[in-house]
Amino acid sequence: MSTVAHPPCGLYRTTQPLEGIPAGRLVYFHNHGDPGAGIYLPSGWSLNRARWHERGNTVPGPEWSSTLAPLPPEGLYRVRETFFCCSQRCREFPTDAMVQLGYDGEGTAILFVPEWTPQGLGFPERGARLDAGQLQHLALLHVAASAQAPAGPTHLLH
């Protein structure tokens, strides 16, 4: 009997292929359900957040799901200390800036910088890709959601 357990529900990058899904893909992992734990691919993006297919792929077991690489949740973050997006220093993110974290289909982190507009806070469609390891400079902000807010990935089966 295996002592390996499924990881928690959340965002991950695949490191092993599964039924036509290659390694290196952004997925939402759901650790319970019928017929069992599974991964879901993005169906698209809205406001820089992934939307998920309603049907996923069942994983063969906890040994496979334990190979998933965890990713921080999409959302708004505070920059804890100034850093640059990459080694080329294309974009600087200053301390205490508010940023939105999203991902592309390969699970690469993208930061979007919200801007004040005449209509209120706006979120750009383009962001800066981050080198691996840069997420350590971010602290998740807790933002209230209205009843009309788009559902997060947990709407799948929870």
CB 56 within 8 A of CB 45: no
User: What are the sequence ranges of the domains in the chain?
Assistant: 10-71, 75-140
pTM above 0.85, yes or no: yes
pLDDT band at 146 (very low <50, low <70, confident <90, very high): confident
Look-up of token digits 């297919």: 53
The pLDDT tens digits of the residues spanning 18-59 come to: 999 999 999 999 998 778 899 999 999 999 999 999 999 999
CATH assignment of 75-140?
2.30.30
Signed CA dihedral, 30, 35, 40, 44: sign only: negative
